[in-house]
Amino acid sequence: MNKVINFVNRISSFPVLVLALILFMSFILYVLPNYKAESAKFMGEAGTLDLKFFSTPETIYQIAEAYGEEGREKYILSKFTIDAAWPFVFTLLYLVFINLSLGYVYGAKGSNLSIFALTALSFDYIENILAAVVMFVYPSRFDILTWVLSFTTCLKWISMGLVSLIFFYGLLAVPVCFIYRRIKKYKNAD
């Protein structure tokens, strides 16, 4: 764990934060809208498993059926291309920003909270692999696998929510801390 924390501390810098923000905005403004338009052709009304909080095996199999064979192939490919890149991009932004912001506010102990972003990344990648396997073996049914997929997706969203709260806390804490330190410095100068 210390090696991971040390690595995150080494890469966390303002230039890396700017790079992560540029990548994030590129995905939000260009890559994801284009992917959404392209994937709508095979997803149709069925939607995607990734955006559901919790799905029963029956719902998962209904989506797999709705995609059709070609749609399932494209969905599997997306799990190892766009859906492998996007979690990395937002995790990089979260890692670096949380590390820098909470490091500024609380020091090393605060910056270490950034590694929680890796939890969301891990669940996202596990979800991708499981979803690809479920789509690949369809129409064969492995209900235990679909239940694990559902719980993994649920854990992904819970961890993303918690990490997002930490991210937004850092967003608010930095200016408050900056102002507090300036006031304190001004009072001590008198």
Tell me, yes or no, whether 57 lies in a domain. Answer: yes
Tell me, yes or no, whether 46 lies in a domain. Answer: no
Cα dihedral 63, 68, 69, 71 sign: negative
**Residue 5 pLDDT:** 81
The pair of structure tokens assigned to 32 is: 């994801």
The pair of structure tokens assigned to 81 is: 């291309």
Interatomic CA distance for residues 71 and 61, integer angstroms: 13
Tell me, yes or no, whether 41 lies in a domain. Answer: no
Length of the chain: 190
Can you give the residue range of the structural domain that contains 8?
2-35+51-189
For the entire predicted model, the pTM comes to 0.84
**Using N-to-C axis directions, what is the helix angle for 82-106 and 57-79, rounded to 10°?**
90
pLDDT, tens digit, 9 for 90 and up, residues 53-94 = 888 888 888 888 888 888 888 889 888 988 899 999 999 999
**Residue 6 pLDDT:** 80
pLDDT, tens digit, 9 for 90 and up, residues 5-34 = 888 878 889 999 999 999 999 999 999 888
